[in-house]
Amino acid sequence: MRSTRSPGHADGDDDVGGALLAAGLAGAAGLGLSLRFNWWRKKRPGTRILMYHQVGAPHSGSTLNKWRVEEEDFHWQLDALLRRGYRGAALGELLEAPSAERRRAVLTFDDGYRGVFERALPALLARGFSATVFVVADRIGGVNDWDGETPGEPLLSADEIRALHAAGVEIGSHGATHRALTRLSDGELSRELVGSRDTLERIVGAPVTSFCYPFGDFDDRVVEATRAAGYRAATVSRGGISKDLSDPFRLKRISERGTNSRLDFTLALTRGRSRL
Ligand SMILES: [Zn+2]
């Protein structure tokens, strides 16, 4: 996690005028930087839905690195939620009971990486949190081949998906093959939506009602097909906080990246986005 600091001061100024000028410039640059953060915006009401991908250390040369939140940072973030009175929850839970005594932050994990089972699940269970994991149904036990990365990031096995479900984590669908849905024919779209749901329901032995659009790619036709396929809600990748649950097939999320600082996390949680 990066610390947020203002740009460094100029070195080597040995006359007072130069030092003052340098300090003034650095101060102006520092102010410019701090205004880029949304601390001055009003806190937003609405449902907090956090978007994670992988929990774990970066690998050299991996394009997934921007989406890896290191384990230590993930623990800090869950504790920050607790301190603010939130319980981590699954998306389905929120739809079944929209109001609850305790504040809830929905935690979502895209793509179904094995690291979520190995590193995120123990952290969630230790705090009594739940979450939703969006699985790519035809890539179970495989790798994230849609990113064109070799050797690729290991994905959850069917046994690990069952174990997550048994631990109270909701299993949602992220399509059958992680294709951009707006480009598909009606038949292919149905296979991604209905086919993936059937596969996942067979594995967990329970209804699968939450969907996540691969690459955040959706339009009105995709939304209607998702609703018609029997899902109850779907998340997008657009950053922010949805005001309420009145449009459950276009739920915005707060994006959690490995490069975010603690300030980013806190500002995004309260304002929807941490920066301009
Ligand atoms: Zn994805």
State yes or no: pLDDT of 2 exceeds 50. Answer: no
Closest of 78, 50, 191 to residue 134, by C-alpha: 50
Residues with CB under 5 A from ligand 1 (ion): 110-111
Domain of 243? 46-271
Distance from residue 155's CA to the centre of ligand 1 (Å)? 12
State yes or no: pLDDT of 59 exceeds 60. Answer: yes
Partners of 111 in beta bridges:
135
139 and 23 assigned to the same domain: no
31 and 82 assigned to the same domain: no
Residue with tokens 């869950």: 78
29 and 55 assigned to the same domain: no
Distance from residue 68's CA to the centre of ligand 1 (Å)? 13
Residue with tokens 């005028």: 17
In sequence order, which residues have a C-beta less than 8 Å from that of residue 212 and are 6 or more positions away? Answer: 108, 110, 134, 172, 173, 174, 234, 235
User: Between 7 and 271, where is the model more confident?
Assistant: 271
19 and 72 assigned to the same domain: no
**How does residue 14 score in pLDDT terms, banded at 50, 70 and 90?**
very low
**How does residue 225 score in pLDDT terms, banded at 50, 70 and 90?**
very high
Q: What is the chain's mean pLDDT, rounded? A: 87
Phi and psi at 164, nearest 5°, equal: -60, -45
CA angle 226, 228, 232 (to 5 degrees): 60
183 and 158 assigned to the same domain: yes
Distance from residue 193's CA to the centre of ligand 1 (Å)? 14
Distance from residue 57's CA to the centre of ligand 1 (Å)? 19
232 and 247 assigned to the same domain: yes
Residue with tokens 């603690």: 262
Residue 2 maps to a domain: no
18 and 62 assigned to the same domain: no
* Count of other CB atoms within 10 angstroms of residue 230: 13
128 and 18 assigned to the same domain: no
Distance from residue 212's CA to the centre of ligand 1 (Å)? 8
Contact yes or no for 108/51 (Cβ under 8 A): yes
- CA separation for the pair 112, 135 (Å, rounded): 5
Asked if omega into 45 is within 30° of 0 (cis), the reply is no
Distance from residue 243's CA to the centre of ligand 1 (Å)? 24
From residue 53, alpha-carbon distances to 38, 70, 101, 135 in Å are 24, 11, 29, 11
Query: What pLDDT does residue 24 have?
Result: 53
Residue 4 maps to a domain: no
- CA separation for the pair 193, 181 (Å, rounded): 9
Task: Work out the average pLDDT over 202-210.
Answer: 98
85 and 25 assigned to the same domain: no
Residue 215 maps to a domain: yes
- 260-270 residue pLDDT tens: 889 889 988 98
Query: What pLDDT does residue 6 have?
Result: 36
Phi and psi at 200, nearest 5°, equal: -70, -35
- 144-159 residue pLDDT tens: 999 887 789 999 999 9
Residue 172 maps to a domain: yes
Distance from residue 86's CA to the centre of ligand 1 (Å)? 26
State the total domains in the chain: 2
52 and 180 assigned to the same domain: yes
Q: Residue 103: in which H helix or E strand, if any?
A: strand 103-111
Q: Which amino acid type is present at position 226?
A: T
Task: Work out the average pLDDT over 162-167.
Answer: 98
Distance from residue 178's CA to the centre of ligand 1 (Å)? 6
Partners of 25 in beta bridges:
none
Distance from residue 175's CA to the centre of ligand 1 (Å)? 9
Residue 6 maps to a domain: no
CATH number at residue 175: 3.20.20.370
State yes or no: pLDDT of 15 exceeds 70. Answer: no
Residue with tokens 């650095």: 26
95 and 109 assigned to the same domain: yes
State yes or no: pLDDT of 101 exceeds 90. Answer: no
Distance from residue 266's CA to the centre of ligand 1 (Å)? 24
Distance from residue 63's CA to the centre of ligand 1 (Å)? 13
DSSP reduced 3-state for 98: coil
Task: Work out the average pLDDT over 78-88.
Answer: 95
101 and 230 assigned to the same domain: yes
Query: What pLDDT does residue 13 have?
Result: 32
- CA separation for the pair 170, 89 (Å, rounded): 9
Distance from residue 268's CA to the centre of ligand 1 (Å)? 21
**How does residue 62 score in pLDDT terms, banded at 50, 70 and 90?**
confident
Helix ranges (H only) for the chain are 16-36, 71-83, 91-96, 114-115, 121-126, 158-166, 186-190, 196-204, 220-228, 262-271
Distance from residue 12's CA to the centre of ligand 1 (Å)? 49
Residue 276 maps to a domain: no
Distance from residue 180's CA to the centre of ligand 1 (Å)? 10
Query: What pLDDT does residue 32 have?
Result: 54
Distance from residue 111's CA to the centre of ligand 1 (Å)? 5
What is the share, in percent, of the chain residues with pLDDT greater than 90?
64
Query: What pLDDT does residue 187 have?
Result: 97
Distance from residue 21's CA to the centre of ligand 1 (Å)? 48
Query: What value does the CA radius of gyration of the chain take, rounded to a whole number of Å?
Result: 21
Task: Work out the average pLDDT over 215-244.
Answer: 94
Residue 7 maps to a domain: no
Distance from residue 273's CA to the centre of ligand 1 (Å)? 20
